Amino acid sequence: MKFRFFLPALVFTMVYSFSLFSAEPGKIPSVNVKNLKGETINTSTFNNDGKPFLINFWATWCMPCIEEMKSLHEVYEDWQKETGIKIISVSIDDSRNSKKVAPFVKGRKWKFEFYLDENSDFKRAMNVNHPPHSFLCNGKGEIVWQHTGFAPGDEESMKDEINKVVAAEKGTSVPDGKLKIYK
């Protein structure tokens, strides 16, 4: 008896969530998040003036996320000079913990752009299950690569992927194979 009610509810929820957050393949979905000042920003406006950018999902309670953020912080300035990359960090801390994000970030002097996804709408729209989870976007805002988890040295493979995007956008050869749009 319970199954007869559960299955239609499950189907409705799945259809509703897919239609709510549908986006073009390879494009960033349109979801509202907040910056650290509390201003609402739509994620479809994320860009880097025609240069690649990285969207990184993380949380203050996630130790691998913090380790990844430390590693990215160490190389960020060099990456910006070499590739023009911008890192957009999206905290998935819920509304109870989101007030900790700004002091957490400022205390570490991280220079990325930070946003809060307190209701996990953007996280769901991007199909992020476990942080840290990063998405590399080309200058057109198309998602071309993604990576889940963190281990020391992952920033090197991330840099390789950034270099591929930069090379493809300059029309030069793409090392180690083709660059494809993630769908």
DSSP letters for 108-127: HT--SEEEE-TT-HHHHHTT
Long-range contacts of 18-23 (CB under 8 A, 24+ apart): 21/121, 21/124, 21/125, 23/125
What pLDDT is recorded for position 125? 97
Please calculate the CA angle 164-147-18 and round it to the nearest 5 degrees.
Answer: 110
What pLDDT is recorded for position 174? 54
* Residue-wise pLDDT tens digits, 83-122: 999 999 999 999 999 999 999 999 999 999 999 999 999 9
Ranges of the chain whose pLDDT falls below 70: 1-25, 173-183
| Domain at 23-170: CATH code | 3.40.30.10
What pLDDT is recorded for position 135? 97
Helix runs in 21-153, H state only: 63-83, 101-108, 121-125
What pLDDT is recorded for position 15? 35
